[in-house]
A and B are shown apart, each in its own frame.
Chain A
Amino acid sequence: MNTEILGVIFMYLAVVVLAIPLGRYIGKVFNYESTWLDKLFNPLDRLFYKFGGIDPSVGMNWKEHLVALLTINAFWFIYSMFILTNMGWLPLNPDGNPSMGWDLAFNTAVSFVTNTNLQHYSGETGLSYLGQLTLMLWQFVSAGTGIAICAVVFIAMKERTMEKLGNFYGYFVRSCTRILLPIAFIGAVVLVFNGTPMTFEGKDTVTTLEGAEQQVSRGPVAAFVSIKQLGTNGGGFYGPNSTNPMENPNYLTNILETVYIVLIPMAMVFALGHVLRRRKLAWMVFGVMTFGFLCLLLPTIYYEMNGNPAITDMGVQQQLGSMEGKEVRFGPAASAYWAINTTATSNGSVNAMHDSMTPLAGMFTLLGMMVNCFYGGVGVGFINFYVFIILAVFIGGLMVGRTPEFLGKKVEAREVKIAMIIALLHPFLILGGTALATYLYNGDPESYAGWLANPGYHGFSEMLYEFTSSSANNGSGFEGLGDNTPFWNVACGVVMLFARYLPIVGPVAIAGSLAAKKYIPESAGTLKADTSTFGMMVFAVIAIVAALAFFPSLTLGPIAEYFSLY
């Protein structure tokens, strides 16, 4: 069998095999059950609690959770703005890179605090090492935020839970230290031994074999890359992310980095099963997510391995497949696999340039972000899925003519309204943003000529992709877009803010209000959530709400480009 395909199969099986036990472990962390790592982490957590001035045993209701989350996130944003606009003169800047202007700093600070990692700068020239390490901090804590708030939703879904849903800071610290830290540590060590730099020295200068001078950017790369893969962050140390051979030196590191993308998002589903003691529900969720994921993945691999027909017409060989923007050491299959992993989850790192992919591969990466819950971001992926579950419960209830219930709690008008607003927010931000950008560009194509690297349908796709990526808190890009301008920095920054916090506030409000309701024991008339029938319902709701809303915009971009090429 083709070794490229075998590599992809191996990566998928590896992540499933690792995600099941990890999910059980995460469930134990959420439940404050004991684990074999307690000896190490109990003392460490106590230090965090002591110096942080927090008491993890104080219960909070859902509103207090949200206030705590928003307050600490606001503080991170302010600190980030300070570092980014002042790093030019601050220490750890051996390459003498400049501070950022206000609009780029705003975009970057929002981007990293919201777990998006959209980058309108290039790491080699745009950040000092202090800037890089500060962004790396957000990669830990923004992922920890997502996992913590997902824990709150899990606890709220338990049968006997009422008002108090645990302590936000407790979940947050435990997510960072017990889940993210050890796995990131292992990854960083593997990367270091495969040649990824981890140094505070500045650029190296070498003379090439042909006698030219070549400068090589270095830095504390390994520590950074590991957590950016793991926490569905995705922001690269170097401009072109994990295509760069320093960031991703060989196929082994590529396997590691690809597995890390989807490891925690997938494990969260099994954690749900452990926390609620409902394994079957977890498998239903996993089944729907996996089916959706495969629908995106298989055609993408097919189209990438078949290459660009316009290049075939020139008479050269495309045995490898579409190679523009790709690295020989990964090949198109592993690059297509990564592309779908990184967009279905909200990671956004790349090991090939998405802008140069064949049209339909580009479309499936877009669709992954438009749905944004096939595994999804760490924690927030399940929260997005939860919104679709609520909608499916509601529609299912209408079909059988009963007040809809989910896990023994009545789903009423208030919850459904919130769910619908959150489900529609995502298309609104993406399509509204793209419409505005297209309107501006069409009104004055000459002043905005710097925006688009490609003409025609593909140029439209570049703008659509940027807003989709911002709203999905993804962070990958059709990087041909000239996006470091005040318009793109501010527009994407605002979209990222709304798209991060409202889809956290809404589902937590739903979960909190459901938790406070009276528990109704299951009866013969209860709509069972852990069946494949209900799974199909959820999938249908996702397809209708998420995918169909975007279909017209996709026809204008990738689908039109497809018909112009094939």
Chain B
Amino acid sequence: MKKHIIPAIRLTVVCIVFFCGIYTLAIWTIAQLAPGKGEGLTISDSGKTYHVNVGQAFTSDRYFWSRPSAVDYNAAGSGGSNKGPSNPEYLATIAARIDTFLAHNPGIERAQIPSDLVTASGSGLDPHISVQAAEVQVARIANERNFTEDAISQLVASNTEKPLFGLFGTERINVLKLNLALDKLR
């Protein structure tokens, strides 16, 4: 036991210096070359800066809504609802979200609402919605902003992000980018 104590302490100190110090600084240095310089990817628009990977709450009828969030899009305390699939209180919340959506989107049927619009994401910061989730909001946006539904649908289509290499993963729409484009639509 005794003969192992000194090497244990010395080796730990070496590891602290190397892994906490040198490894971290090396990655930090490389990050200075990366887009956003390691401070998070941002986009600037009309003089304002937004984190493009971090979802924002959109609740106004004039914007495409983002997904419900268990933490109200608090990016300094992210988290999911952790509600189980059979929890009655949780299922009541979902039913209420469906009713709210229907009330704000006249003419839409229940069966047109995709589940991502009524369920909370794992991080509470999901920046995306599915393509159906955008399409089902087109009529409301067109009505609120006095555009044709076609114009809004085109905007949705041009903001759709394809699966990786067209092969892997989901199709999705970044809600922030879509809404920024919406504000620019003439």
Say whether A and B bind each other.
yes
Query: Considering only CB atoms, which chain A residue lies closest to B176 in the complex?
Result: A209
Given A75-B9, A216-B54, A243-B80, check contact A325 B15 (CB 8 Å): no
B149 CB-CB contact with A under 8 Å? no
In Å, the complex CA distance between A478 and B20 comes to 30
B84, A356: Cβ atoms under 8 Å? yes
A178 to B170, CA, bound (A): 36
Partner of A51, one of B14, B126, B128: B14
Query: Are the C-beta atoms of B40 and A216 separated by less than 8 Å?
Result: yes
Nearest-neighbour CB distance to chain B for A407, whole angstroms, equals: 30
Q: Does A140 contact B (CB under 8 A)?
A: yes
List chain A residues, Cβ under 8 A from B52. 195
Residues in B whose Cβ lies below 8 Å from that of A216: 40, 51, 54, 75-76
| Count of inter-chain pairs, beta carbons less than 8 A | 366
B105 interface residue (CB < 8 Å to A): no
C-alpha gap A27/B95 in the complex (Å): 56
Q: How far is the CA of A255 from the CA of B5 in the complex (A)?
A: 41
The answer to whether A245 and B80 touch across the interface, beta carbons within 8 angstroms, is no
A315–B102 alpha-carbon span in the complex (Å): 12
* Beta-carbon nearest neighbor of B26 in chain A: A185
Given A325-B122, A326-B122, is A193 in contact with B83 using a C-beta cutoff of 8 Å? no
Contact yes or no, B127 A140, CB < 8 A:
no
Instruction: Give min CB distance, B32 to chain A, whole Å.
Output: 9
Which interface residue of B16, B125, B179 has the most chain A CB atoms within 10 A?
B125
B6 touches A199 (CB 8 A): no
In contact, A185 and B27 (Cβ under 8 angstroms): yes
Could you tell me the distance between the alpha carbons of A448 and B175 in the complex, rounded to whole angstroms? 40
- B11 at interface, CB cutoff 8 A: yes
Evaluate contact between A328 and B126: CB separation under 8 angstroms: yes
What is the bound-complex CA distance between A350 and B5, given in angstroms? 36
State whether A328 touches B172 (Cβ < 8 A): yes
Interface membership of A423, Cβ < 8 A: no
A209 touching B56 by the CB < 8 A rule? yes
B143 located at the interface, meaning its Cβ lies under 8 Å from any Cβ of chain A in the complex: no
Let me know if A455 and B80 touch, CB within 8 A.
Answer: no
Shortest distance between the CB of A239 and any CB in chain B (Å) = 5
Q: Are A141 and B85 in contact (CB under 8 A)?
A: no
* Among candidates A7, A74, A310, A479, residue contacting B169 with C-beta atoms closer than 8 Å: A7
Q: Are B36 and A195 in contact (CB under 8 A)?
A: yes
CB neighbours of B51 from chain A (8 A): 204, 206, 216
Cβ of A203 within 8 Å of any chain B Cβ, yes or no, is: yes
Give the distance to chain A from B15, nearest Cβ to Cβ, in Å.
Answer: 6
A296 CA to B1 CA in the complex, in Å? 43
Report the separation of the CA atoms of residues A122 and B115 in the bound assembly, to the nearest whole angstrom. 28
- A479 CA / B70 CA spacing, docked (Å): 13
Pick the residue among B9, B23, B34, B90 that contacts A192 (CB under 8 A).
B34
Partner pick for B56 among A208, A308, A328, CB 8 A cutoff: A208
Of B37, B87, B112, B121, the residue contacting A317 (CB under 8 A) is B112
Indicate if the CB atoms of A124 and B77 lie closer than 8 Å.
yes
CA distance A188 to B27 in the complex (A): 7
Residues of B near A31 (CB, < 8 A) are none
Residues of A close to B54: CB separation below 8 A: 214, 216, 245-246
B1-36 interface (Cβ within 8 A of A)? 1, 4-16, 18-20, 23-24, 26-28, 30-31, 34-36
8 Å CB interface, A207-230 against B: 207-210, 212, 214-218, 220, 222-223
Residues in A with CB closer than 8 Å to B85 are 308, 310, 322, 324, 356-359, 458, 561, 565
CB distance from A314 to the nearest CB of B (A): 6
List of B residues within 8 angstroms of A359 by Cβ: 85-86
The answer to whether B168 touches A217, judged by C-beta atoms less than 8 angstroms apart, is no
Taking the complex as formed, is A10 at the interface, i.e. its CB lies under 8 A from any CB of chain B? yes
Contact residues in A for B186 (Cβ distance below 8 Å): none
Q: Answer whether residue B111 sits at the interface, using C-beta atoms and an 8 A cutoff.
A: yes
Q: Which of A10, A53, A193, A251 contacts B34 (CB 8 A)?
A: A193
In the bound assembly, the distance between CA atoms of A181 and B169 in angstroms comes to 29
| Given A204-B40, A210-B59, A134 contacting B27 (CB threshold 8 A) | no
The listed residue (A193, A254, A328, A356) touching B82 by CB distance below 8 A is: A356
The interface residues of chain A lying within 8 Å CB-to-CB of B168 are 3, 6-7, 10, 251, 255
Cα A200 to Cα B80 with chains together (Å): 26
Contact (Cβ within 8 A) B119 A324: yes
A458 touches B19 (CB 8 A): no
Tell me which of A244, A245, A310, A314 has the highest count of chain B C-beta atoms within 10 A of its own C-beta. Answer: A245
Query: What is the CA–CA distance of A403 and B8 in the complex, to the nearest angstrom?
Result: 41
Q: Are A351 and B26 touching (Cβ within 8 A)?
A: no
Mask for A535-561, Cβ within 8 A of B = 1, else 0? 000000000000000000000000001
- Asked if B63 contacts A246 (CB within 8 A), the reply is no
Contact partners of B90 in chain A: CB under 8 A? 324, 454
- Which one, A72, A209, A331, A352, contacts B4 given CB within 8 A? A72
Contact B164 A251 (CB under 8 A): yes
Is B103 an interface position by the 8 A CB rule? Answer: no
Q: How far is the CB of B73 from chain A (nearest CB, A)?
A: 7
A140 CA / B14 CA spacing, docked (Å): 13
Per CB-CB distance, the 8 closest pairs between chain A and chain B, nearest first, are A243-B122, A480-B82, A458-B84, A7-B168, A195-B41, A198-B38, A52-B11, A198-B31
Binding site for A on B (CB under 8 A): 1, 4-16, 18-20, 23-24, 26-28, 30-31, 34-41, 48-60, 63, 67, 73-88, 90-91, 94-95, 98, 110-116, 118-130, 132, 163-164, 166-172, 176, 179-180, 183
Q: List 26 A-B contacts (CB under 8 A).
A: A3-B166, A7-B167, A10-B168, A51-B13, A52-B7, A52-B10, A71-B8, A75-B5, A122-B77, A192-B27, A204-B51, A207-B48, A209-B58, A215-B76, A220-B27, A240-B124, A244-B123, A245-B126, A251-B169, A320-B170, A324-B81, A328-B128, A334-B169, A353-B81, A454-B87, A458-B87
Q: A54-B11, A192-B27, A316-B118 are in contact. List 6 more A-B contacts (CB 8 A).
A: A3-B169, A316-B113, A318-B114, A325-B80, A325-B82, A328-B170
**B-contacting residues of A (Cβ < 8 Å)?**
3-4, 6-7, 10, 47-48, 51-54, 67-68, 71-72, 74-76, 79, 122, 124-125, 133-134, 136-137, 140-141, 169, 172-173, 176, 181, 184-185, 188-189, 192-193, 195, 197-201, 203-204, 206-210, 212, 214-218, 220, 222-223, 238-240, 243-246, 249-252, 254-255, 307-308, 310-311, 314-320, 322-331, 334, 350-353, 355-359, 453-458, 461, 478-480, 561, 564-565
